[in-house]
Amino acid sequence: GENVEQHPSTLSVQEGDSAVIKCTYSDSASNYFPWYKQELGKRPQLIIDIRSNVGEKKDQRIAVTLNKTAKHFSLHITETQPEDSAVYFCAATAGGTSYGKLTFGQGTILTVHP
């Protein structure tokens, strides 16, 4: 099955700095890679996603890059703000008969200091 590794586990930055979170996956058949933000006790919220036919996607301060050859993808947050502080999860979806089930990374606790 799919295995997703996420690094770092914690990330502390100053307001205005950039933050980068990296994930690797094992299943070369995976072709959909969403990123979620989860605040304490709340549901995961989709912040951006990328499909395997695209190398990069950007949405305002958030961008995701995908390297299918190396099987890794990254989340980039620019101009970080204190409200960006949360736990971020990457995930991967394999094809076939999986019905789109997600395998999540271990999570990154992002703290943005004002």
Binding residues (CB under 8 A) for other proteins: these are: 1, 31-32, 34, 41-46, 49, 51, 89, 93-95, 98-107
Phi, psi values for residue 53, rounded to 5°:
-90, 5
Q: Which is nearer to other proteins, 43 or 114 (CB)?
A: 43
Q: Which is nearer to other proteins, 18 or 51 (CB)?
A: 51
The backbone region for 26, taken as left when phi is positive above 0, alpha when psi lies in -120 to 50, beta otherwise, is: alpha
Least distance CB 20 / other proteins (angstroms): 19
Least distance CB 62 / other proteins (angstroms): 16
d(CA 63, CA 77): 7
From the list 4, 19, 2, 31, the residue with the least C-alpha distance to 89 is 4
Q: Which is nearer to other proteins, 49 or 78 (CB)?
A: 49
Least distance CB 53 / other proteins (angstroms): 10
Phi, psi values for residue 84, rounded to 5°:
-80, -10
Q: Which is nearer to other proteins, 18 or 109 (CB)?
A: 109
